[in-house]
Structures are given as structure tokens and as C-alpha cells.
Amino acid sequence: MTTTHGSLLELLRRPSDQAAWEHFVRLYTPLLQLWARRLQFADADAADLVQDVFTVLVEKLPEFRYDPHKRFRGWLWTILANKARDRRRLVVAGALADDAFPASIDPAEDFAEHEYRGYLVRRAMELMRAEFEPKTWQAFWECVTTDQSAGQIAAKLGLTLDAVYQAKSRILRRLRQNLDGLLD
């Protein structure tokens, strides 16, 4: 995604922002598929369910207003769970009672908070990596994953100390922008 400003959720309010939607789909598809499989959907059915969720999101996100007191993930889970119920009702031609589908499944219980946050950060970084020069990414990566000083990293990579600090700052800023409102 080449946009460097604004929250991804804010960008998604414009259905015509193809880059934002592509980024969102790449970011969330694996998570939605995981949730669908945990609800006992086979791979092909899980893929269909995920498409149903994205169809709802295309309709609802333009009017979506982020509330920092609520979790975006919870809203996303609710959409997936409702679509899963709808699909199961279709499969059994209405024989499934509402209480036969576990309404109490909560992504916070099923997919621990730290796992969700870790997944989202890792996935966002996978997608962002291609946006930066390899040395810039390596400087950032070593700053946040090793005990080396910025000076050691600069010497190792043949960069200035300022370039190492800028790499870390730029990538962390982009990561925060990409995940704004998604981790709450």
C-alpha cells in the first residue's frame, strides 16, 4: 500500500480506494480463514464465508464510525459469525436452531488477545516490507529485534547513525498508520 497517511479504516470508507481495500484484504484474509476453520468450515467453505464477510464490509465500512471504546476485531468477528450461521442454515435448510450455533464464541477467548495483536502486526509488517529498501528494513528490524545499539547496526550495515534512527522511525510510523484502530 503506497498511502502513507490516514488510518486504514478511514481509507476504507471510500470504496473506490482500491489500494486500501487490497491491503485490507491481504491483511485480514488469513485471520478470517482461521476463524472460519475454527468454526469447522472446510477450506473451500471457509473461503466462501470469507468472501461473504468482505461483501458485507464493502457495504458497511463506508458508513462505519470507529469507536475507540469498542474493538474492530469484535465487530469483524460478529459479521463472520452471523454469516457462518446464515451459511449453516442454508446447508440444513432451516433445521438448525439459533442456539445450536455457539453464540458465545468470542474471538478474545478463542484467539487470545496477544495472538491476535501479534498476528496483525506480523502480517502488516510482511505486507509493508516490500515498500522499503532492504537496508532500511534491515536497520529497522535489527533495532527492534536485537540488543545491538544503533551505532553497531549503522557500522554493520554501512549506514549513518541518523539513517538507522530514521529507518526505525519511518517504519514504526507506517506500521502505526496501517494498524490505526485495528488493534484496539
Q: Which of 166, 133, 54 is nearest to 46 (CA)?
A: 54
CA–CA distance, 151 with 137 (Å, rounded to integer): 16
User: What is the rounded average pLDDT of the residues 100-109?
Assistant: 49
Q: Is the pLDDT of residue 101 over 60?
A: no
In angstroms, the CA 120 to CA 183 distance is 8
Whether the predicted pLDDT of 138 surpasses 90: yes
More confident residue, 152 or 62: 152
Please state the separation of Cα 101 from the chain's center in Å. Answer: 26
For the chain, what is the mean pLDDT?
Answer: 81
